[in-house]
Amino acid sequence: MVTGGAGFIGSHLCDRLRDEGFAVTCVDNMLTGSADNLAGLAHDPGFTLEVGDVCEPFDVPGPVGAVLHLASPASPLDYTEHPVETLKAGAHGTLNALELARRKDARFVLVSTSEVYGDPLVHPQVESYWGNVNPVGPRSQYDEAKRFAEALTTAYRTTKGVDTTIVRIFNTYGPRMRANDGRAVPNFITQAQSGRPITVAGDGSQTRSLCYVDDTVAGILAAARSDHPGPINLGNPEEFSVVALARYVRELCGSDSPLVFVDLPADDPRLRRPDITLARTVLGWQPVVDVEKGLKATIDWFAAQRGPRETEEVG
């Protein structure tokens, strides 16, 4: 069972599970997901798409081995536009997914986020760090939704005996990201490919650590197969400044787009880099796709979405 399975990461997770022979049911309300992400599974008898809202109680016939909970708006653009829906996904959605796992005696995996660390005062971020989050800031709906989801997951483990784990993912990127979702990688790629100025927030000195989607999916499944309760960081410890990332994407795209510096959003994290010692130790997991390879694959995917006519017009 994959909640949010029509989204960017969720759809890759559904693909991987089907490749491994598992029957998969996805539930998604399509607020930010897309059936296009699941086009390769449309006629697969081992895959079922249920269009529905996890904030309402839901069920699945038959046995369930694992409930993988990803349902939530995840980009700044989306959770800014849908703050209440984001908070409900973290609260009601997590509660309903946990209840399904309890009824089915299934392993429950909460896919949380590095955003629970807020603008961190500890670097790199370790799982024992409690974070530096503004509970009433412009990013609070996402940060606090995930923090509450972690607390709820922990409560179900300790008081109801549900077999749970929590993973915190860092800056996942790759094919199927939406061009207009507001995150750095798709922004930089689409701007570079169209010859538009590449917009860098602030002076670009803030850092991010990019993890290719295939690696993130492998980490989620490793956690699902483990007996560790988490939280466990899943990310790539290689750290880039945002301005260096913009220049690197521009170079890989063969673009001469100028860099333009714009206002830094409020509460934008200054630092982001995971300590993945725990993931290496208890899951035997670490990222294997280097950033150059991952960015090239992502750039190629975005180019294919643009189509030959658009590419020729720009050229």
CATH number for the domain including 168?
3.40.50.720
**Residue 205 domain flag:** no
pLDDT at 180: 84
The total number of structural domains that make up the chain: 1
For residues 106 and 1, the answer to whether their CB atoms sit within 8 Å is: yes
Identify the domain containing residue 30 by its residue range: 2-176+211-237+272-288
Cα–Cα distance measured from residue 64 to residue 50, given in angstroms and rounded to the nearest whole number: 15
Cα–Cα distance measured from residue 195 to residue 258, given in angstroms and rounded to the nearest whole number: 8
**Residue 298 domain flag:** no
pLDDT one digit per residue (tens) for the chain, 315 residues = 999 999 999 999 999 999 999 999 999 999 999 999 999 999 999 999 999 999 999 999 999 999 999 999 998 889 999 999 999 999 999 999 999 999 999 999 999 999 999 999 999 999 999 999 999 998 999 999 999 999 999 999 999 999 999 999 999 999 999 988 889 999 999 999 999 999 999 999 999 999 999 999 999 999 999 999 999 999 999 999 999 999 999 999 999 999 999 998 888 889 999 999 999 999 999 999 999 999 999 999 999 987 644 444 333
**Residue 114 domain flag:** yes
pLDDT at 314: 38
0.85 surpassed by pTM: yes
**Residue 293 domain flag:** no
**Residue 257 domain flag:** no
**Residue 253 domain flag:** no
Exposed/middle/buried for 159, CB within 10 Å: 0-12, 13-18, 19+? exposed
pLDDT at 307: 66
Question: Of 26, 155, 39, 25, nearest to 99 (Cα)?
Answer: 155
pLDDT at 309: 40
Largest Cα–Cα distance in the chain?
61
One-letter amino acid of 238: E
**Residue 91 domain flag:** yes
**Residue 45 domain flag:** yes
Would you please indicate which residues are annotated as catalytic (active-site) residues?
A: 142
